[in-house]
Structure 1
Amino acid sequence: MTDSAIRCRDEVAAALAAGAPVVALESTIVSHGLPRPQNLTVARRIEQTVRDHGAVPATIGMIDGTLVVGLDDAELTHLATADGVAKLSVRDLAVAAAARADGATTVASTSAVAARLGITVFATGGLGGVHRDAQQTYDESADLTTLGQTPITVVCAGVKSILDVGATLERLETLGVSVVGYGTRRFPGFYLTDSGFLLDWSADTPTELAAVMAARRAQDVHRAALIVANPLPESEQLDPVLHDAVLTEGLAGLERDGIAGKAVTPYLLAHFHERTQGASLTVNVEIILRNAALAAQIATAYHTAAASIPA
């Protein structure tokens, strides 16, 4: 598919036309979420992980004002290495296109673009959510409202523990977003296996999750996202004591340095990287690779299940 607004890479377009499994991937993790030069290496590893588990990767970004679904390696390299790459949520897409900007898509914009093209599964690290002290700041990620109106399955490790996890889960419930734990009834906290919050539903295999997706399609009454919360094993999580100490320091730093809005998350992630001597980055990379693998398995299982469902 090619038009002036969205260009779909031939491999991705062919897979979608054939009903083959495709996994959407965001580009913000490449341009803003990971340090150079690891960001490009990890981006390539994420795509290869999707391929290794039977699906076609479709990393989404904006090049010179055009949304690209399935960035090629040169485009991926550009977003990973260029300065001035914009961070694009849904509200930014049209403005950035008119300005012929280069941009990286967030969870919200990746979900919206992927769903528009019929991609049913998206892998990311962690969702945005309700920020701490949101009752004063009204700071809430656009990820939530977009997921409330976008029919896509998102595989993630919950929400980043720097957020107000309980409030985020309440907002997801209000917005009609289904949350299913993968092999657990405990909601993961990104760096941590368990955020301390319970879930109503869980599934133990990609096939079970594909069956949920198939049921949603058959019922055709639900337009919100399905969140698959995939926790790290306890042996691979960030040390909880270290995590809590670093988070407390980081939150104090926000107030001391007057950090607010979009700058909060990158500030805290950089603080975690520095104070854990890179351990948080190792965990972050493991999270996205595990989620990419599971997303590909779900997409492949759904491809099989969907074949028996009338269009």
Structure 2
Amino acid sequence: MKFLDQAKIYLKSGDGGSGCCSFRREKYIEFGGPNGGNGGRGGDVIFEAVPNLNTLIDFRYRQHFKAERGHNGEGKDKFGRKGENLIIKVPVGTQIVADDDETVIKDMLTPYERFTIAKGGDGGYGNAMFKTSTNQAPRRADPGQPGEEMWVWLKLKMIADAGLLGFPNAGKSTFLSAVTSARPKIADYPFTTLHPNLGIAKIDDEEMLIADIPGIIEGAHDGVGLGDHFLRHVERCAVLLHLIDGTEEDVAGRYKAIRKELKLYSPALAQKREIVVLNKTDALTPEEIDEKAKALQKACRKKPMLMSGAAHAGTTEVLRALLPHVLKLRE
């Protein structure tokens, strides 16, 4: 299944049905009087969050959604039928954003939660509603009210316990495949991961959901590489796992570059709990590990953990370091 994390769609609730102008016509009844029924109300547009969806790919092939209009009223005081509501199913964690791409209308966080974004128009009155003692044969019948229409953005933010950060080729996908059953694409070239991946890791009788996002590089906030919009998938995480490629010359510079991008994207995201890991230690000598760990510690002001995702060395310790932060958020 292809992954799509944002889409722009057009919504329109149903117009109300028109009222009917009708008079009672029966044998031996000379002045039957008005009997035109009211029009039916238009259908609403409703969003529903469902847990078994994890992509917005369906909205790539259909962008226009219109609810059914209300049916017109009829003679013999028959009211028009209400239009059917249109229910649009989206993944849990989807944000509904206004056309200005800034105003958040609704955040769909709870499974099976429903939100009515556009209400259908009211049906028009039939002429029976305008009958009075002085106007016993009104010929007025109102049209239905138009429904609401709008363009909105749908933006999916994954709901994961821990999020992986790092430059391309830092070993994020390798770590995810080592500790979960997820099988992301792994290769020795940058930007192998083009969309977020999720995996469930088990440690000490507990489970945690880990999100792997495409690599962030310097200048991502200006659109360099794949940009920084994938960072929204780790905004809801309890803790960030920052992987640094130990084979890089300047590990401290790499750490600072990612931290800079985090702050430019969202100061709140930059304040999240972070565990720093020096990865790919299997490719380094003990002297190199010691040297780079010290340089990294000086940059992040805390002792980094050592790990090799490919060799499965230190992965259990890293998961145990993540677990307390995850459990604290669940309380």
Normalization by structure 1: what TM-score? 0.34
Greater gyration radius: 2
Q: Which has the higher strand share?
A: 2
Relative contact order higher in (CA < 8 Å, ≥ 6 apart): 1
Higher helix share: 1
Normalised to the residue count of structure 2, the TM-score between the two structures is 0.33
